[in-house]
C-alpha cells in the first residue's frame, strides 16, 4: 500500500530522499492520465535532484498547486490527484455521513443500496436442490450384497430417500437377496 501523498508541506526539506518527492506527483502521462512513481522511486529521484544541486524554489513563484484526491484513500496509489492553477479554488470536501444520526428506516435504505451495489453481501438463502443422477443408475443386481448395503448407507446419509426406495425396489424385483432386503425392506 502506498504512503501519504507527498506535498511540499509534508516533505522534510532536510532529508534528501524526502525533500523533492512532491515534485514528482501526478506527472502528465498518456492523454489525461497522470503518473506518480512508486514510493521507492520517489526517494531515489528526490535524492538525485539534491545530488545535482537543485534547490527548493520560492513557493511564491509557483504557478500550480497540488490538489489531493477528493474521494478515496489519501495515498500515492490513488490516482485522483492533480495539479491546478494556484488561484483555482479548492474542491469541496466529501463529507461521509454519520450513520448513527440516521433513523433505523434511513439506515435500512442505505444498507439496501449497499447490498444492491455489492458492498454488503448477504448469505445465500438455503434452498433445497434437486439431485441429478449423472451417468448410469446404480443397479444392485450387478453388485455384491455388502456393496449394495454400503451404497444404501451412503444414500441414506445424503438423505436421498427416493434413491433408497428405487434401489430396494430394484432388488425386490430382481435377485431378492435376504442380506439386503432384511435390512432395507421397511424404508
> pLDDT digit string (tens) for 55-83?
988 888 889 988 888 888 887 777 788 88
Mean per-residue pLDDT for 91-106?
90
What is residue 28's three-state secondary structure?
Answer: strand
> pLDDT digit string (tens) for 139-185?
999 999 999 999 999 888 888 888 899 999 998 998 989 888 888 87
CB count within 10 Å of CB 16 equals 15
pLDDT at 2 over 70: no
CA distances to 131, 170, 186 from 125, in Å: 18, 36, 34
> pLDDT digit string (tens) for 115-139?
889 888 877 667 676 666 666 888 9
Mean pLDDT (the chain) is 86
Provide the residue ranges of all domains of the chain, joining segments of one domain with +: 21-85, 140-184
Q: Measuring CA to CA, which residue among 71, 12, 65 is closest to residue 42?
A: 12
> How large a percentage of the chain has pLDDT more than 90?
32
Instruction: Give one DSSP letter per residue of 39-102, joined into a string.
Output: HHHHHHHHHHHHHTT--PPPGGG--EEEE--SSS-SBTT----EEEETTSPPPPPPPPP-GGGS
How far is residue 156's CA from residue 148's CA, in Å, rounded to a whole number?
12
Query: What is residue 137's predicted lDDT score, i.e. its pLDDT?
Result: 87
> How large a percentage of the chain has pLDDT more than 70?
91
Phi and psi at residue 22, to the nearest 5° = -60, -25
Mean per-residue pLDDT for 73-96?
85
Amino acid at each position: 500500500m502506498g504512503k501519504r501523498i507527498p506535498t511540499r508541506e509534508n516533505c522534510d526539506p532536510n532529508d534528501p530522499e524526502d525533500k523533492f518527492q512532491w515534485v514528482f506527483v501526478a506527472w502528465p502521462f498518456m492523454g489525461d492520465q497522470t503518473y506518480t512513481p512508486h514510493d521507492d522511486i520517489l526517494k531515489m529521484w528526490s535524492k538525485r535532484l539534491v545530488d545535482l544541486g537543485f534547490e527548493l524554489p520560492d513557493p511564491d513563484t509557483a504557478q500550480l498547486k497540488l490538489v489531493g484526491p477528493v474521494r478515496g484513500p489519501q495515498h500515492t496509489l490513488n490516482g485522483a490527484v492533480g495539479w491546478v492553477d494556484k488561484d483555482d479554488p479548492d474542491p469541496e470536501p466529501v463529507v461521509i455521513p454519520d450513520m448513527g444520526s440516521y433513523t433505523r428506516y434511513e439506515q435500512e435504505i442505505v444498507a439496501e443500496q449497499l447490498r444492491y451495489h455489492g458492498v454488503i453481501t448477504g448469505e445465500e438463502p438455503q434452498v433445497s436442490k434437486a439431485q441429478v443422477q449423472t451417468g448410469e443408475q446404480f443397479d444392485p443386481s450387478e453388485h455384491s450384497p455388502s456393496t449394495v448395503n454400503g451404497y444404501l448407507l451412503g444414500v441414506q446419509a445424503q438423505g436421498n430417500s427416493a434413491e433408497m426406495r428405487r434401489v430396494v425396489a430394484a432388488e425386490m424385483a430382481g435377485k431378492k437377496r435376504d442380506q439386503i432386503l432384511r435390512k432395507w425392506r421397511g424404508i
